[in-house]
Amino acid sequence: MGDSDFLDRLVENLAAFLGSDCEIALHDFTHGYDSTIVKLINGHVSGRTVGCPPTNLFFEKVMGREGPISDVPVYFTKDNGRVFKSSTTFIFDKKRNVTGAVCINMDVTRLLLAQQNVCDFVGYDASENRGEQYAQSLNEIVEQYLQAAENEIGKPATEMNKSEKKRALAFLDSKGVFQIVKANVRLCEYFGISKFTLYSYLDEVRRNSRQDRESEQDGVLSGSDVDNGPSQMV
């Protein structure tokens, strides 16, 4: 994952510099995602410990997206009424594969309750809240997303019809849930379907999603106005 001595010292120094309200987490992704935090300072901020997995945002914003992965210098999240100002810097190998990350989570709740000039300095914008949830295990993350899927559809899985189950799977796929090892086992149990049916539904919703994107692109191209007449530069 890189120079472990340097990373250890970096985490220690950041924590000493930023204070006790700031959690510094070093993740190692080279052995999977079940247990990625290998060094953690001020874990009381999120309630996590060494050995915990990454948060739901990692699967949603990183594993669940297409294209190159880039750092997230500043973002805001909420958890149990507290506001966090966070930053994620990824660690890459020579082939640009993500092998780890250094994550900073500062509890700025008390600062936001101070005078307006302090709020301006912090720069918190409520519209940027991404709903990050700190979990003790990947199973907990999956359960959080299953609850979110029920909220999205408006009913529990036991009452969903075939079409609604597909909508729920499309929602879960957009959140990167299928990147979590063995999540399919829980999903089959949750929806009351076989593994074959699960992936049959998943293939269908992904295929429909691609077709929708292609249709949107075709619509943009066909709707473009082309003027072959004389032009005038201003």
Label residue 215 by pLDDT band (50, 70, 90). confident
Which pLDDT score is estimated for 184?
A: 93
Across residues 213-223, what is the average pLDDT? 64
Across residues 184-206, what is the average pLDDT? 94
Looking at the DSSP bridge assignments, the partners of residue 83 are 78
Do 50 and 99 fall into the same domain? yes
Calculate Rg over the CA atoms of the chain: 22
CA distances from 134 to 25, 44, 52, 186, 212 (A): 12, 12, 9, 20, 33
Label residue 47 by pLDDT band (50, 70, 90). very high
- Tell whether the model's pLDDT for residue 165 goes beyond 50: yes
Share of the chain above pLDDT 90, in %: 54
Which pLDDT score is estimated for 49?
A: 96
Do 46 and 150 fall into the same domain? no
What span, in angstroms and rounded, lies between the C-alpha atoms of 24 and 46? 10
- Residue 30 within any structural domain of the chain: yes
Label residue 218 by pLDDT band (50, 70, 90). low
* Of the candidates 59, 108, 48, the residue with the CA atom closest to the CA atom of residue 82: 108
What span, in angstroms and rounded, lies between the C-alpha atoms of 66 and 206? 13
Do 14 and 96 fall into the same domain? yes
pLDDT tens-digit readout, 72-126:
899 898 888 889 999 999 999 998 888 999 999 999 988 878 756 655 666 756 5
- Residue 150 within any structural domain of the chain: yes
Share of the chain above pLDDT 70, in %: 81
Tokens of 71: 């750092």
Which pLDDT score is estimated for 111?
A: 82
The overall average pLDDT reported for the chain is: 84
pLDDT tens-digit readout, 7-28:
999 999 999 999 999 999 999 9
- Residue 164 within any structural domain of the chain: yes
Which pLDDT score is estimated for 211?
A: 81
Q: Hey, how many other C-beta atoms are within 10 angstroms of the C-beta on 28?
A: 19
Do 60 and 77 fall into the same domain? yes
Burial annotation 124-146 (CB, 10 A radius, 16+ → b, else e): beeeeebebbbbeebeebbebbb
Do 169 and 196 fall into the same domain? yes
Do 102 and 55 fall into the same domain? yes
- Residue 93 within any structural domain of the chain: yes
Across residues 174-193, what is the average pLDDT? 92
Structural domains in the chain (count)? 2
* Of the candidates 41, 54, 47, 46, the residue with the CA atom closest to the CA atom of residue 100: 54
Q: 211 Cβ partners below 8 Å, 6+ apart?
A: none
Q: Can you give the residue range of the structural domain that contains 47?
A: 4-134
- Tell whether the model's pLDDT for residue 208 goes beyond 70: yes
Do 53 and 168 fall into the same domain? no
Tokens of 139: 């199973």
What span, in angstroms and rounded, lies between the C-alpha atoms of 152 and 171? 8
Provide the 3-class DSSP secondary structure of residue 5: helix
